[in-house]
Amino acid sequence: MSNAILVVGGGFSGLTAAIEAAELGHDVYIVEKSPWLGGRVAQLNKYFPKLCPPSCGLEIQFQRIRKNPRIHCLTMANVIGVNGSKGNYTVRVRLEPRHTPPHNVDFTFLASTLEGEVASEFDLGLSKRKALYKAMPFAYPARYVLDTTTLSKADNARIAGKASLDPSEEAREIELSVGAIVVATGWKPYDVTNLSNLGAGSVKNCISNMQLERLASPFGPTQGKIVRPTDGRTPHSVAFVQCAGSRDQNHLNYCSYICCMATLKHCLYFAEQHPTTQITVFYIDLRAPGRYVNVLEKVQALPNVHFIKGKVANVTQSDGDCCCIQAEDAIRGEKLTLNYDMVVLATGMQPTLATEKCPIPVAVDADGFIAGGEEAGIFACGCAVMPLDVTRSAQSGTAAALKAVQTVKGR
Amino acid sequence: MAQCTLKPDIDFTRKLTLAGGDSLKKCYQCATCAVACPLAPANAPYPRKEMVWASWGLKDKLTSDVDIWLCHNCGNCSDLCPRGANPADVMSAARNVVYQDLTAPKCVGSLMSKPSGLPILFGIPAILWFIVWWIRSLYNDGNWFPVRPDGHIVFGDIFYGDYTIDPIFMLTFFGALFILCRGAYKLWQSFKPDGAVAVIGEKGCWLCHLWHVLVDEVIFATRFDDCHDGPKTGKVTQTRRVGHTVLVWAFVTLAFVTAVVALGHWGGKIFPIIEITTPLHPMHLVKIIANVGALMLVVGLILLTIRRIAENSETHKSNYYDWYLLGIIWAVALTGIFSQVFRLAEAVGPAFLVYYLHLVFVWMLFAYLPWSKLGHLFYRTVALLYVRMYGRKG
């Protein structure tokens, strides 16, 4: 019997659940597969509702974690097996080697001298990273990672003999005893290579909405300047393609909820940086839930933002690395073929469990969202359950924490 | 803005649903389909507007819409449709409803719309040719299966050309042609909008346009290839160009042979030099062409049938009209080929029976043509001609 709680996933909802449970006096283990906490929110430039940078909300969460000895963070960790039953689970966790010391060592200089490079996962392929890297300045834990597969021969010679690096460190497995499990495995942007009529990721300067977040982020590939990835030029015309893969039985058969608001937010990014850029948003329906309608009204009032009802169904490359899109303006009944300097696909949220195997015994529905599991003391929260914005993710994290606490209380 | 009141016709929507458009209510008007269709023009593209007319039950709009005939049913729109509303099937259903209602007697259209009408449709020519068979058997001393003294079978001994086959088929053919022309005229009138149409640019004569339509559609069937120029769907769409072209040319060949034989037969009564007597020798040039035509018919049928069966049934459903037409052409081709085989094999019973069935199916093919999917031969040509006259390529 254990009254500890396992939280799988260190994104916004997982962190919230972990902190809430720990602050109620429970031991909490956070198992996060990436090297740092923060999840998708950390990749954003700004997030709703207040349009603050991610450091703002995450910083507070990290402070609370740092100060709470009951929270144990396991990064680069994956759950590989779960045994037992409600109130008494034994969880096996595999810890991938980080090859860097447990304390905070600043490797900035050493990293800059390495030559091996690979496309950055954190920047969604928009930049290159070195073998020794830290994705964001406020990363928690503030530790570098050494990716030995990216080291070149010269790099190997350069790091040889560094006492603080251990390239031979191996993966370990540990066992945790917990009474309840919170599953906060989150989401990933829908894979654009599936969208064959929207260019399948091969059209230059046709990027996804998450890639635009990275472009706009001050610690992103362009230090926050929104420019065309191919030539670094300011785009004079931009088209947003709503429902790119969402509400589509061939892709994601549901509304991803956040893409409309994300696009409206992106219009505000442009209005701030390039107020003369002409923006056209192609939509089927615009969904601005609750108070977010204020944002919609604000964006609609912008002089250079135009809305056209009609889904973009064809994106091809045109001259000068521009993007040619085709859509029918469904109100005027006219088929438009237009060129834009840049096209942003407002791709949706796909639950991580739709494509990745999870050893936790929990049922998922046809779309990969978690359905049920509560009777077994397994509580899901965040975008693993349904598409949510950050606020609601946090709320669902708190809810899951309260349920988990009640499951283990008094044991 | 002017006020207008829509009068939805629920019965019409139900009719469309039964005619193969059962997915139409799933449409949420995202307009993907209008982009997916490479044939749809930039100005007033289809099929999104047809989808909204269909679900609102706007019968007049949809049945007088020229665009339903310009669709060549490649299914790009259905492949990309995010809701499984299958616009291609709805367009096909709209055409089926026009086949059903365009021309009188409408009871034929109603019988043609469902499998339960088949017994009556089959029964009419079956009785007709049975009476002919019975009457003619009396001329053969009550013998229903006459054989020549040399053992040969001559179908003309029972189904005598001059007094039975030719008059009945001429009446059927020209009757059907009259009904088709009346339907085509009605369609043409319905395509015209209220008021005058201003045509900007050069106008061609209608004969030139008709020639271009026939070249594009019949001789080369290039529209089927144009169908594949749309956005990438990520799905494999099999081409129909080969199967359809082979089938069309098989019909052209067989029509040519029939005309030659008819000319030789009737003309031979005036100019004995061009006389042709049936049955023709298997090595007679006309007979060889006829058999090549029959072979082409079977090849075309096999290609088109395989394509229909192999098609993804979720997004490309074949409806009853599709299967009726394929079925009747299969029946005509097989009974035609086997009546020749049995005749040459001197299997007298099967030969006459199969030939009788052949006559029944050929009569069905022609007599019900204005209400069958084969009507597109006329109606689509009319629609293509109409849009070309108004400056569109179709």
Q: pLDDT of A167-186, one tens digit each?
A: 889 999 999 999 999 999 99
List of residues 6+ apart from B306 with CB closer than 8 A? none
Three-class secondary structure of residue A343 per DSSP: strand
Amino acid of residue B301: L
Give contacts of A251 with chain B, Cβ < 8 Å.
82
What pTM, to 2 d.p., does this model score? 0.90
Contact A90/B at CB under 8 A? no
> What is the pLDDT confidence band of residue A353, given thresholds at 50, 70 and 90?
very high
Q: What is the pLDDT of residue B326?
A: 95
Nearest-5° Cα angle at A313, A307 to A314: 110
- What's the pLDDT at A160? 85
Q: Is B44 an 8 Å CB contact of chain A? A: yes
Q: Best interface-test mutation with A: which of B32, B43, B49, B79 has the largest number of A CBs within 10 A?
A: B32
Does the beta carbon of A248 lie under 8 angstroms from any beta carbon of chain B? yes
Q: Is B232 at the interface with chain A, CB within 8 A?
A: yes
Average pLDDT over chain A reads 93
Cβ–Cβ gap B42/A335 under 8 Å: yes
Distances (CA, A) of A109 to A105, A130, B382: 11, 12, 76
Q: Which of A197, A248, A328 sits opposite B31 (nearest CB)?
A: A328
Residues 6+ apart with CB under 8 A from B368: B108, B112, B121
Nearest CA to A146 among A103, A101, A109, A113?
A101
Q: Quick one: pLDDT at residue B201?
A: 64
Helix (H) or strand (E) holding A76, with range, is: none
A191-347, which class in CATH?
Answer: alpha beta
CB contact under 8 A, B42 and A250: no
Cα B140 to Cα A92, B136, B137, B380, distances in angstroms: 95, 7, 5, 47
How far apart, in whole angstroms, are the C-alpha atoms of residue B273 and residue B279? 18
Cα torsion B149, B154, B159, B162: sign: negative
Chain A closest CA to B32's CA: distance in Å? 5
Phi, psi of A312 (to 5 degrees): -70, 125
DSSP SS3 for A349: strand
B26 touches chain A (CB under 8 A): no
Cα–Cα distance between A410 and A3 in angstroms, integer? 8
**Contact criterion met (CB < 8 Å) for A197 and B44:** no
- pLDDT, tens digit, 9 for 90 and up, residues A297-348: 999 999 999 999 999 999 999 999 999 999 999 999 999 999 999 999 999 9
Q: A188: exposed, middle or buried (C-beta count within 10 Å: 0-12, 13-18, 19+)?
A: middle
Residues 6+ away with beta carbon under 8 Å from A161: none
- B 93-132 residues inside an 8 A Cβ radius of A: none
Where in chain A are the domains? 5-96+171-188+350-408, 108-159, 191-347
- Rounded to an integer, the average pLDDT of A86-112 is 91
DSSP secondary structure letter of residue A208: E
- The Cα A53–Cα A47 span in angstroms is 6
The phi, psi pair for A338, rounded to 5°, reads: -135, 150
Cα(A155)–Cα(B33) distance, integer angstroms = 53
**Cβ–Cβ of B35/A335 closer than 8 Å?**
yes
Please give the Cα distance from B314 to A24 (Å, whole number): 53
Q: Dig out the tokens for A369 from the structure.
A: 């969202």
Contact by Cβ (8 Å): A267, A254: no
d(CA A27, CA A298): 45
Tokens encoding A77: 């960790």
**Please, what's the b/e burial string for A102-137 (b: 16 or more CB within 10 A of its CB; e: otherwise)?**
eeeeebeebbeebebeeebebbbbbbebbbbbbbbe
CA distances, A365 to each of A382, A386, B185 (Å):
15, 11, 55
Q: Please state, in angstroms and rounded to a whole number, the distance separating the CA atoms of residues A345 and A208.
A: 5
A 170-229 residues inside an 8 A Cβ radius of B: 194, 196-197, 200
- Domain A5-96+171-188+350-408: homologous superfamily in CATH: FAD/NAD(P)-binding domain (3.50.50.60)
What tens-digit pLDDT sequence spans chain B (394 residues)?
Answer: 567 787 888 999 999 999 999 999 999 999 999 999 999 999 889 999 999 999 999 998 999 999 999 999 888 999 999 999 999 999 999 999 999 889 889 899 999 999 999 999 999 999 999 999 999 999 888 889 988 888 888 898 888 888 888 899 999 999 999 999 999 999 999 988 877 777 766 677 888 888 888 888 878 888 888 887 888 888 877 778 889 999 999 999 999 999 998 888 888 888 888 888 878 888 889 999 999 999 999 999 999 999 998 887 788 889 999 999 999 999 999 999 999 999 999 899 999 999 999 999 999 999 999 999 999 999 999 999 998 887 777 6
Helix or strand run (H / E) with residue A340: strand A334-340
Q: Which of residues 307-336 of A touch B (CB under 8 A)?
A: 309-314, 326-330, 333-336
Residue A311 CA to residue B28 CA, distance in Å, equals 11
User: B374: number of CA atoms within 13 Å, CB side?
Assistant: 21
**Residue A335 with chain B: CB contacts under 8 Å:** 34-35, 40-43, 45
Interface contacts (A, B; CB < 8 Å): 80
Coil, helix or strand at residue A183: strand
Nearest to A334 among B29, B42, B230 (CB): B42
Question: Which residues of chain A neighbour B233 with C-beta distances below 8 Å?
Answer: 196-197
CB contact under 8 A, A197 and B83: no
Selecting from A196, A247, A313 the residue whose C-beta is nearest the C-beta of B35 gives A313
Q: How far does B325 lie from chain A, in Å, by closest CA? A: 31
Dist CA B351 CA A365 (whole Å): 61
Question: Which two tokens mark A40?
Answer: 């998708």
B84 touches chain A (CB under 8 A): yes
| Distant-in-sequence, close-in-space partners of A106: CB < 8 Å, separation ≥ 6 | none
Chain B residues with CB-CB distance to A309 below 8 A? 31
Of B319, B269, B298, B317, nearest in space to B95 by CA = B319
**CA A78/CA A93 separation, integer angstroms:** 6
Confirm or reject contact between B246 and chain A (CB < 8 A): no
Q: Do A249 and B82 touch (CB under 8 A)?
A: yes
- Helix ranges, B192-284 (H): 206-214, 222-226, 241-262
Tell me the HSE value of B382 on the side-chain side, using a 13 A CA sphere.
22
Residue B1 has a pLDDT of 54
Contacts of A196 in chain B (CB under 8 A): 231-234
Contacts of A329 in chain B (CB under 8 A): 31
The CA distance from A262 to B319, in Å, is: 43
Contact assessment for residue B329 and residue B365, using Cβ atoms and an 8 Å cutoff: yes
**b/e code B285-310 from CB counts within 10 Å (16+ = b):** ebbeebbebbebbbebbebbbebbee
CA A278 to chain CA centroid, Å, is 28
Q: What is the SS3 assignment for A84?
A: strand
Does residue A4 register a pLDDT over 90?
Answer: yes
Residue A35 is given by DSSP the state: S
Give A252→chain B minimum CA distance, Å.
9
Terminal Cα distance for chain A, rounded? 7
The reply to whether residue A335 touches residue B41, judged by beta carbons under 8 angstroms, is: yes
- Does B40 contact A310 at a Cβ distance shorter than 8 Å? no
Nearest-CA residue of chain A relative to B85? A249
Dump the DSSP string for A91-130: EEEEE----S-SS----HHHHHH---EEE-TTTTTSSEEE
Q: At which residue do the structure tokens 């085709």 appear?
A: A326
Asked, as a colleague might, if the bond just before B87 is cis with ω within 30 of 0, I would say no
Q: A304 CB near a chain B CB, below 8 Å?
A: no
